[in-house]
Amino acid sequence: MFDTKSLIKCKDKASKAWDKHNFIFIKFAEVFFEKLKETNLTFRNVLLISSDFNETYRKLLNLNFQSLTYLSQYKSLLDKIYISKKNIFKKFIYLENLERMKGNKKFDLIICSFNFHNINEKLNYSKNLNKLLSDDGVLFCNFFGENSLFELRKSLIKADEKIFKGVFSRMPPTIKMMDASNIFSSAGFSEIVSETINYDIYYRNVQEILEDISGIGENSCLKYRKKSLFSRNYLKTLNTIYSDEFTNKDNLLKASCNIISMTMWKKNQ
């Protein structure tokens, strides 16, 4: 379903001007760290599996941990992470091959930061997370939910139908919160608590929306998709369709960002 090589290329390209488009990750990192502090737990060995850059990582530096491992499949972002302490480590592993994590080290805190929605084998990935977690460990999984960019998705369908008399796969499928919960439960997690954090973002035109999506490497990375670039006529039509339905009183286009944040524990064996 998802083309991992294409996704990595998108992230590599996005890393060059990341700071111009990463505002969602910055905003959510603040929310997430407050959520983490509210647990009143002390974490010894922390694993951050990251598909953002350093937004969550910088917050975690405030924890009193014994070790922190930053894991990513995006080498361009990984190489830019600054290591300031001897107990912080960087690790490069393709997320679909998470079982290749060597050693017997267990983590009492694992954070999956914006990668779950782009994983092909989600159940297998979740089982590998469970194996890495200590018996008293907690997993936080944050990812883009089903209502993210629904305005763009709907407008793309209408634009395709108007111009091509058919619909192309331009955006990846999303995962519902309940489906994600069922996957984690099947993988051996319990006490699963889910919540959604929603942001409404406003733009002058569709081009700006597409630039922000590309700017964080979240372009459509389906294996079978319409690969041709948007023509001027297509973008004009898309912008008109979008504007007709999703503008505010200031004639700005609304784009929804829906983040699902899940907390869960490893089931006692």
Tell which wins on pLDDT, 230 or 48: 48
Mean pLDDT of 4-21: 94
Q: Hey, what are 184's tokens? A: 């984690």
Q: What's the whole-number average pLDDT of the chain?
A: 93
Write down the pLDDT at residue 62: 96
Rounded to whole angstroms, the Cα distance separating 120 from 173 reads 11
Write down the pLDDT at residue 222: 43
Q: What is the pTM of this model?
A: 0.94
Write down the pLDDT at residue 44: 97
pLDDT tier for residue 221 given thresholds of 50, 70 and 90? low
pLDDT, one tens digit per residue, over 64-96 is 999 999 999 999 999 999 998 999 999 999 999
pLDDT, one tens digit per residue, over 142-190 is 999 999 999 999 999 999 999 999 888 888 888 999 999 999 999 999 9
pLDDT at 269 over 80: no
Domains of the chain: 4-266 (3.40.50.150)
pLDDT tier for residue 132 given thresholds of 50, 70 and 90? very high
Of 252, 149, 151, 248, which Cα lies nearest the Cα of 204?
A: 252
The β-bridge relationship of strands 253-266 and 133-144 is antiparallel
pLDDT, one tens digit per residue, over 88-130 is 999 999 999 999 886 778 999 999 999 999 999 999 999 999 9
> Lowest mean pLDDT: which of 27-31, 195-199, 200-204, 224-228?
224-228
Cβ neighbours, 10 Å, residue 100: 9
pLDDT at 238 over 90: yes
